[in-house]
């Protein structure tokens, strides 16, 4: 997975002398509270939201969890 921000952060840490860092991943979490008639419908709706607005498929992966 491409993570340009993580790679830049890793290089910056190395410049500061932290050479023991093997990998840096920078991420973002979005929490939604949604009313829905079923778990399946909520997952379908959130997937559409991600594809249309919340995630850029070029640089983001997303995972949907329903509690």
| pLDDT at res. 8 | 96
| pLDDT at res. 1 | 61
Task: Place 59 in a pLDDT band, splitting at 50, 70 and 90.
Answer: confident
| pLDDT at res. 2 | 76
| 3-52 pLDDT per residue, tens | 889 999 999 999 999 999 999 999 889 999 999 899 999 999 999 999 99
pTM of the model: 0.67
DSSP string, the chain: ---HHHHHHHHHHHHTT-TT----------------SSHHHHHHHHHHHIIIII--TTT--------
Q: Domain coordinates of the chain in residue numbers?
A: 1-29, 31-67
């Amino acid at each position: 997975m491409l993570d340009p921000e993580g790679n830049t952060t890793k290089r910056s840490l190395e410049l500061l002398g932290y050479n023991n860092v093997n990998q840096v991943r920078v991420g973002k979490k979005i929490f939604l509270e949604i009313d829905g008639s079923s778990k399946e419908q909520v997952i379908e709706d959130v997937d559409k939201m991600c594809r249309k607005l919340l995630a850029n498929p070029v640089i983001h992966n997303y995972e949907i969890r329903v509690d």
